[in-house]
Structure 1
């Protein structure tokens, strides 16, 4: 079992590296010390036996009990951020905060109301992914249920109302693209930002198209990224990798990355109509080694194709009987 690492930052912020599955291997949780002696936990991590033990070790090292947890804040619904919140809530009695849209995405993904485990594989089939690969994605999706069980009783964040953490008011900043209803927290006085996966150093947040969710995730992501870039951030605390300071530069790099990927996808279509899966293979050739990576790659390829269609640079073609949907370069 891997032990969670604790690193202290300014203003009473502790970074807790919680173990998770490859390829990322670690997710950043954060502890904010409250004036009365309790703590707020941001993004507790996935619900696994290893993460349970890691958190017990963190509390022991800090000489804290579960009762010290006053509230849990979740930036978005992905299992590596949201998954442990229900388990932690049951032990601490604390409230769990997330956006209403993020909670709706969680319900769509897991539990009695879930539809994603069937609708996403069907979408991939329609866009040309072979059945044997689709089955691997289906099994991969089903494997997440234990990582989000039990699910939390959630209180909804009002984006117009500041959240109080560590005795200070933080502004909720709603964005999407990586995850609908993603909430970052910004404290203007200090220039500090808890940004979840909205902006990551060194790696690009996955931007994926999913049925029943945002039909234009890349557009949403780019708009949110431009808005986040406009904020004067002194230090950002991301969901993965290390806290960083070059906020505007990193946002600019991500904006360029997606424009370049759009251009690459458009060049692929210039050679003739392509299925979404064919574009996915060309964009991510050699970098997909698991069903997890394939799901992200396929969803991201479809998100970029949807944006090309929106911009008038591509068009969808009616599928031949039994064949996949195709994308073609738009006539100019």
Structure 2
């Protein structure tokens, strides 16, 4: 039974082009890590051309797999007129930039991603280093500094988009209209795209069927990323029920069901975070070390450095919402935030 469940969770990663609605194909592309092993891009027919929602990571393997998938539905890279990118993370943005250089496709991105993209392009990581210090993770910040001395942050694959999408915007294609809807939280400028006539939600990383997206771990972090994320979930919940087309994981029939699950998850996680702090005064890193992570309830010390950063950042995001809601207090001394009941 466990093997069957595992197979069901990974079947969506199989290469190919899968029709999820008339004129819409899901194309999974590989990622170079053991966590999220694939990302879905969606090819939307637009007359004789295609519009792709997200693009994948600029890897040779991903480019080849995308080319084969497009060929199976009678298209090539030259058919792509435009990439509508949900957010600036490498696995969503950079292959679109590579193909734009070769074929002239347009790339569109939400305006809220502009500060983070500028930081990426100019190698500015001081904001993220300051965040790590604020969370009480100076040891991780120091490891990042040492890593930068050996080569600096990776900027390859990134360029400015052709178009910044500003606010909620209708994007009119030949046979359908997609509504770009800002959903900050996972990143400051995250967008989802709604096809109301076909009841489809291209959700990016905002709503994922099996996991909860990381919140606010970016070079330019918003003041209250979890608060933004919860508001964005409620905003999507106000729209009519749609089929969920996520960036990672299989297609699901109900957006509302998954939104409700995510809201409930974060309500429980806020309670768990408050309980982990108890009556102590502690940093986000100290509280994160008292909590379990992933569905396997792993200890923070058992995780690699990148996932420790994500976990500590998540804990900080929950602690800051608890402060906003009057359930905790915080003070900052020498750049380090400490929380207490």
Using the size of structure 1 for normalisation, the TM-score is 0.88
Q: Residue 241 of structure 2 corresponds to which residue in structure 1?
A: 233
- Tell me which of 255, 261, 264 is aligned to 2:263: 255
- Tell me which of 17, 29, 42 is aligned to 2:28: 17
Q: Residue 145 of structure 1 corresponds to which residue in structure 2?
A: 155
Give unpaired runs (5+ residues) of structure 2.
Answer: 1-12
Contact 1:30 1:42 in 2 (8 A): yes
Q: 295-304 or 157-166, which moves further after superposition?
A: 157-166
Question: Superposed, which structure 2 residues align to 1:317-328 within 5 Å?
Answer: 317-319=331-333, 324-328=336-340
Contact 2:216 2:226 in 1 (8 A): yes
Answering whether residue 251 of structure 2 is matched by residue 243 of structure 1, we say yes
Q: Residue 89 of structure 2 corresponds to which residue in structure 1?
A: 78
Q: 278-287 or 306-315, which moves further after superposition?
A: 278-287
CA distance in 1 between partners of 2:312 and 2:98 (Å): 32
1:51 is displaced (CA, Å) by: 1.6
1:133 is displaced (CA, Å) by: 6.9
1:46 is displaced (CA, Å) by: 1.2
Answering whether residue 211 of structure 2 is matched by residue 198 of structure 1, we say no
Deviations 1:47-75 (Å, cap 9, x if unpaired)?
12222222232334334232211111101
Deviations 1:137-181 (Å, cap 9, x if unpaired)?
9749956533xx142432022434311245211211111111112
Check 1:48–1:118 CA distance in 2 against 1; reply closer, same or farther (3 A cut): farther
Question: Superposed, which structure 2 residues align to 1:310-321 within 5 Å?
Answer: 310-319=324-333
1:209 is displaced (CA, Å) by: 5.6
Check 1:196–1:13 CA distance in 2 against 1; reply closer, same or farther (3 A cut): same
Q: Residue 95 of structure 1 corresponds to which residue in structure 2?
A: 106
Check 1:120–1:223 CA distance in 2 against 1; reply closer, same or farther (3 A cut): same
Answering whether residue 295 of structure 2 is matched by residue 295 of structure 1, we say no
Q: Residue 39 of structure 2 corresponds to which residue in structure 1?
A: 27
Check 1:210–1:7 CA distance in 2 against 1; reply closer, same or farther (3 A cut): closer
Contact 2:180 2:194 in 1 (8 A): yes
Secondary structure, counterpart of 1:84 in structure 2: helix
Answering whether residue 299 of structure 2 is matched by residue 286 of structure 1, we say yes
CA distance in 2 between partners of 1:327 and 1:296 (Å): 19
Q: Residue 39 of structure 1 corresponds to which residue in structure 2?
A: 50
CA distance in 2 between partners of 1:33 and 1:144 (Å): 34
- The CA RMSD measured in Å over matched residues stands at 2.5
Q: Residue 9 of structure 2 corresponds to which residue in structure 1?
A: none
